[in-house]
Amino acid sequence: MALTVQKFGGTSVADADRIRAVADHVARARRQGDEVVVVVSAMGKSTDDLLRLACDVSAVRPGRELDMLLTAGERISMALLCMALAELGVPAASFTGSQAGIITDTVHQNAKIIEVRGDRLRAALRRGHVPVVAGFQGVSVEHDVTTLGRGGSDTTAVALAASLGADRCEIYTDVSGVFSADPRIVPDARKIKRISFEEMLEIAATGGRVLALRSVEFARNHHVPLHVRSSFTWEPGTWVDEEDPTMEQPIVSAVTSDATATKLTLTKVPDQPGIAASLFRALADEHVNVDMIVQNTSHDGTTDISFTTGKVDTPTATRVVEALADKIGAGTLSIDESIAQVSVIGAGMRTNPGVTATMFESLAAAGINIEMISTSPIRISCMVAADGAEQAVRALHEAFDLGEARP
């Protein structure tokens, strides 16, 4: 008997009909002889609604209390799904993250899983029940409720699949798989049948939110094959798995965009050893994640330094840089929130030169200016003005011939 973890995202459980459709699907998997563990997200956009409510109530939102609030969303879905399963005669039991034994660190809103105990889930399976687990949540080593970061139900599902030794982890969502670009931006984006963990990591890290980044890291580290598919059509989707060494890798598999960053530029930074180190040490000490960095050539012993950080980290980064600028005698700080990163990703670019040139040419032909550049062995990213990002994605998708109509 195979064990499958099935995760259903917010749109998949958005209303009563959707919850009944999910229950039917789980019941069908059981009839086919599979053991099933289900992970659910909060219904529809209810996590956003809860966040908005918290902002309306107070400007001060202690992390512990925010997590207590946000975890309520997934509790609603899990209880309703168990009721829908009960009506179909399928015995099911709901479990919060804490009851499922998902132990995390103490970082509220972005907790990391330290351990998955899962004893109660194993006992439920032995009794012939379907455990239905609230995604996105755990309990900290200090016994407080935590959440795993936005999109964290994917991470719950993969962590449970690894811990329970599941044969596969199915991620059901509102698109039929991982596409060569977000189908909402590129209507003729192509569904990818199989993609390596490495490429999927880059896609998830650069804005392809179909899978949460940490869930892909978990799947790669614990060798859990993922099947991303639609809960609307139930058709076969995309397998995310180890790279197949016998297959030639596509030069470019996907194009992504991400508008969650801000660019900060500090002018007239003294061009001396140790100054950049003190800037980025001060940012690191305040847990500010820095992505791209550009330092201009020096004029008169000073230089301009630009870097990007997440919009959520911008207030902290601003405070840190302004405090340091005074100390080191730098010039002024400017902040640009209207930027976006566009990326092309493909394992085959390791061995095929020319991808950068094609990318730059196609952005130039679309009249899009490149502000910053960063690369990995299988990715090239450019920072562009946010209002040109979607046009950039479509231009790159076309330039690399990724569309459905391709012969």
* Cβ at position 134, least distance to ligand ADP in Å: 14
Task: Tell me whether residue 158 or residue 279 sits nearer to ligand ASP (CB atom).
Answer: 158
Give the residue, chosen from 4, 6, 11, 41, that forms a contact with ligand ASP under the rule CB under 6 A: 41
**Closest residue by Cα to residue 55 from 35, 70, 36, 43:** 70
Task: Tell me whether residue 135 or residue 346 sits nearer to Mg ion (CB atom).
Answer: 135
- Among left, alpha and beta (phi > 0; psi -120 to 50; other), residue 101 is left
Q: Judged by CB under 6 A, does residue 206 bind ligand ADP?
A: no
Footprint of ligand ASP on 279-308 (CB under 6 A): none
Q: Judged by CB under 6 A, does residue 152 bind ligand ASP?
A: yes
CA distance 330 to 328: 6
Q: Judged by CB under 6 A, does residue 153 bind ligand ASP?
A: yes
* Cβ at position 10, least distance to ligand ASP in Å: 5
CA distance 348 to 354: 11
CA distance 13 to 261: 30
* Cβ at position 92, least distance to ligand ADP in Å: 21
**Residue 227 φ/ψ, nearest 5 degrees:** -125, 105
Q: Judged by CB under 5 A, does residue 151 bind Mg ion?
A: yes
Q: Judge whether 181 and 397 are in contact, CB under 8 Å.
A: yes
CB under 5 A: which stretch of 18-26, 151-159, 221-229, 300-308 binds Mg ion?
A: 151-159
Task: Tell me whether residue 260 or residue 298 sits nearer to Mg ion (CB atom).
Answer: 260
* Cβ at position 83, least distance to ligand ASP in Å: 20
Task: Tell me whether residue 10 or residue 346 sits nearer to ligand ADP (CB atom).
Answer: 10
Number of C-beta neighbours around residue 193 at 10 A: 11
**Closest residue by Cα to residue 250 from 307, 331, 312, 192:** 192
Residue 181 interacting entry, from Mg ion, ligand ASP, ligand ADP, none, C-beta within 5 to 8 Å by type: ligand ADP
Give the list of residues 6+ apart from residue 73 with CB closer than 8 angstroms, or none.
Answer: 41, 42, 43, 46, 47, 50
Task: Tell me whether residue 9 or residue 250 sits nearer to Mg ion (CB atom).
Answer: 9
Q: Judge whether 153 and 115 are in contact, CB under 8 Å.
A: no
Residue 150 interacting entry, from ligand ASP, ligand ADP, Mg ion, none, C-beta within 5 to 8 Å by type: ligand ASP
Residue 208 interacting entry, from ligand ADP, ligand ASP, Mg ion, none, C-beta within 5 to 8 Å by type: ligand ADP
Q: Judged by CB under 6 A, does residue 138 bind ligand ASP?
A: no
CA distance 334 to 324: 14
> Residue 83 is inside which H or E element, if any?
helix 63-87
CA distance 320 to 322: 6
Q: Judged by CB under 6 A, does residue 42 bind ligand ADP?
A: no
Q: How would you classify the pairing of strands 130-134 and 92-95? A: parallel
Q: Judged by CB under 5 A, does residue 101 bind Mg ion?
A: no
Return the amino acid letter for 373.
I
Q: Judged by CB under 6 A, does residue 380 bind ligand ADP?
A: no
Give the residue, chosen from 6, 8, 10, 288, that forms a contact with ligand ASP under the rule CB under 6 A: 10
CB under 6 A: which stretch of 116-124, 126-134, 148-156, 361-369 binds ligand ASP?
A: 148-156
* Cβ at position 176, least distance to Mg ion in Å: 15
Tell me which residue has its CB nearest to ligand ASP: 153
CA distance 23 to 39: 12
Q: Judge whether 179 and 254 are in contact, CB under 8 Å.
A: yes
Binding site for ligand ADP (CB under 6 A): 9-12, 41, 151, 173-175, 178-179, 181-182, 184, 203, 208-210, 254
Binding site for ligand ASP (CB under 6 A): 9-10, 41-42, 47, 73, 135-136, 150-154
